[in-house]
Structure 1
Amino acid sequence: MLLMLIISALVVGISLGLLGAGGSILTVPALILLLDMDEKTAITSSLLIVSLIALTGALSAFKQKLLVKKVLLWFALLSLPAASIGAQVGAWLPNGLQTIILASIMLFAAKKLFHPSSIQGAKILSVKQLVVAASITGFITGLVGVGGGFLIVPALVLYAGLTMQQATANSLVLIALNGAVAFFSLRVSGNALDLDWMVILIMAGVGALAVLLGQKISHFLDQTILKRSFSILLLLVALSLMTQSINTFI
């Protein structure tokens, strides 16, 4: 189990470091498929794991002075309550349904990664569109335990006028905050679960180191090939999750 745990953490961390966003979407599938966790425990654990891993990248972004406080404040104020609501809604959904929702999101992300499009940034902050984007990403984070970086980054570029580098850096802060809020929302409610803290700490620790490794080697690799390879991986994992979840309903 320890070997599978370390492998899972390395895959999640390195992919997050290489791509800048989207790697944390593999955390829940890794916990379910490789570590045999049940859906609810995997999603709750993922919220904290993703938050801790993203925090490592966020600290690096802070040191590089890439954070835009005004945008972070707007996005956080809107996404954090939505993340808490998403977590509570997810806790009441029947077993298997959250995994199917996650697999569907993974298929969407795989399509976007395989056929990446150039994003033209906004010239001014579009508050109305930012409200919608922040609320949706926060809700999805809480609902299925993903970081939502593959949604946050385009939103920050399109509606807040950030550069891709700024958007990626600021998304890590928002991922860390949304994951933490959703996690503690579940812990203080009547939906708290018994968690394997050793798994959480090892995966978060190894994943955080792997993020730094991924960031260092990302400059030497072709981003188009990386994204398409990752999209194929997402497709295969999503199909595996759907097959397993459908079986729970039969």
Structure 2
Amino acid sequence: MLIMLFFSAMLVGFSLGLMGAGGSIIAVPILMLLMEMSEKVAIKHALIIVGMISLVGAINGLRKNLIDAKVLTYFALSSLPLASVGALVGHALPNGWQTAILVALMLISAFKMVASKTLDSNTQKSLLIVLISGGIAGFVTGLVGIGGGFLIVPALVLYAGLNMQQAVANSLVLIAINAAAAFVTLNIAIDSLPTDWLVVSVMSISGVIAVVGGQLIAAKINQQILKRGFAICLLGVSVALLVNQF
């Protein structure tokens, strides 16, 4: 079981390193399907794991001078408060609702990964859209334990004027801080959710190794092929989640 967790976490880390998105959306299903955790416990674990993996990727981006402090500040203004709100709303939802929302987001993400073309930076920057995107990404992170990178990366490229490499690095910073905000909120407001630190350690360590590797080879992989392959993976995991629910 730990071997399967190791390779699953590697997939999470590689995707985050390559695209600044994608890996975190399968962390919750992995924990539910492999470790048989309830959705709320899985979300709490995913926030720790994805946050730690993203943090290491963010530090690597900082070393390469890819971080834009001004853009991060604007994004964080809306994403951090709503990450906490999303965590509380998610915990209050009846069992099964968060899984249903997660499956819907996985299907939408899979479709967008297949349909989307290469992003080109928009010279017409829009602070309002950046703030709105940040708020939605933060809320989604808290609600279902995924990083929201599929919202963050396009917003950073199209409306904040960053190139793809910068957007990926900044996305990892935002995912890390949103996950931290949601996790802290859950710990303060609800202390009844258990934490399996062995699972957290195995997935975090293997994911950290993979995110750095993903960043190193990002420029050498055809992004369209990668997106299509990951979309197929998302479809398969979403079907497995639905079968597991019924």
In 2: Cα distance, 1:94 partner to 1:76 partner:
29
Q: Deviations over 1:22-47 (max 9, x none)?
A: 12211111111122111110001101
* 1:212 CA displacement: 1.5
TM (normalized to structure 2)? 0.95
* Root-mean-square deviation (Å): 1.4
Query: Percent same amino acid at aligned positions?
Result: 52
The Cα of 1:215 is off from its aligned counterpart by 2.5
TM-score normalised by the chain length of structure 1: 0.93
1:24-63 matched pairs, under 5 angstroms: 24-63=24-63
Aligned residue number for residue 199 of structure 2: 199
- Distance, in Å, in 2 between the alignment partners of 1:139 and 1:220 is 33
Give, in whole Å, the separation in 2 of the partners of 1:222 and 1:120: 16
Could you say which residue in structure 2 is the equivalent of 1:227?
227
Displacement of 1:14 in angstroms is 2.1
Distance (Å, rounded) in 1 between the aligned partners of 2:39 and 2:238: 14
Q: Note the residue ranges of structure 2 that are not aligned, 5 or more in a row.
A: none
Aligned mates of 1:125, 1:220 — CA distance in 2 = 29
**Contact 2:13 2:210 survives alignment (8 Å):** yes
Alignment of 1:1-250 (within 5 A): 1-190=1-190, 192-245=192-245, 247=246
Aligned-residue offset at 1:73: 0.4
**CA deviation vs aligned residue, 1:128-179 (integer Å, no higher than 9, x gap):** 2122111111000000000111110001112211111111110000000000
> Once structures 1 and 2 are overlaid, which stretch shifts more, 149-158 or 214-223?
214-223
The letter of the residue matching 2:154 is: P
Are the counterparts in 1 of residues 60 and 212 from structure 2 also a CA contact under 8 Å?
A: no
Q: CA deviation at 1:86?
A: 0.2
Contact 1:186 1:192 in 2 (8 A): no
**8 Å contact kept, 1:13–1:53:** yes
Q: Which amino acid aligns with 2:190?
A: G
Shift in Å, 1:242: 2.3
Any conservation in 1 of the 2:16–2:172 contact (CA below 8 Å)? no
How far apart are 1:243 and its partner, in Å? Answer: 2.7
Once the 2 structures are TM-superposed, how far is the Cα of residue 124 of structure 1 from its aligned partner?
A: 4.6
Kept in 1: contact 2:18–2:215 (CA 8 A): yes
Between 194-203 and 136-145, the greater mean CA deviation after superposition: 194-203
Shift of 1:192: 4.3
Deviations 1:58-95 (A, max 9, x none): 00110011111111001011100000000000001111
Structure 1 stretches lacking a partner, 5+ long: none
After TM superposition, give the deviation of residue 191 of structure 1 in Å: 5.2
State the alpha-carbon separation in 2 of the partners of residues 15 and 129 from structure 1: 25
8 Å CA contact 2:120, 2:157 repeated in 1 = yes
